[in-house]
Amino acid sequence: METPHSPEPFDKELCDLVLAVAPRIFAVVQECEVRPGLKDGCVAAWGVAFHEGPVHVITADGTGQMVLNSPERALRWFTRGGDEDGVTARLVWLSRSGGATFDHAEAA
């Protein structure tokens, strides 16, 4: 229980809550085969997936935004020409840091 002289337990509880409900960040990467056996790729977009709710995606250059029902829906927007000789897209998820802090400088 928090007392006026000891906020640490409550602060830890708040940080744990933030970690539990934090949105997940992912990249949409595009890949293509530039010649047989040699692939190239780039980050096409960044996304934020909330536990329950919409997924927000913004193109890597910041010019396009979309709100989708799932991260997998973004793949449709960034795949061109099918699997053969085209551009395919995959999701790459950033892993959670495992920590939370009230100090912005420590968070970076």
Q: How high is the mean pLDDT in each 10-residue block of the chain (108 residues)?
A: 66 89 92 90 95 92 96 93 78 78 60
Q: How far apart are CA 90 and CA 92, in angstroms?
A: 7
Give me the pLDDT at residue 81, please. Answer: 76
Residue 24 per-residue DSSP state: E
The whole-model pTM stands at 0.76
Give me the pLDDT at residue 4, please. Answer: 58
79 touches 68 (CB < 8 A): no
Q: How far apart are CA 82 and CA 36, in angstroms?
A: 16
Q: How far apart are CA 61 and CA 44, in angstroms?
A: 8
Give me the pLDDT at residue 94, please. Answer: 87
Give me the pLDDT at residue 52, please. Answer: 79
Give me the pLDDT at residue 80, please. Answer: 86
Single out the residue of 36, 61, 32 nearest to residue 46, CA to CA.
61
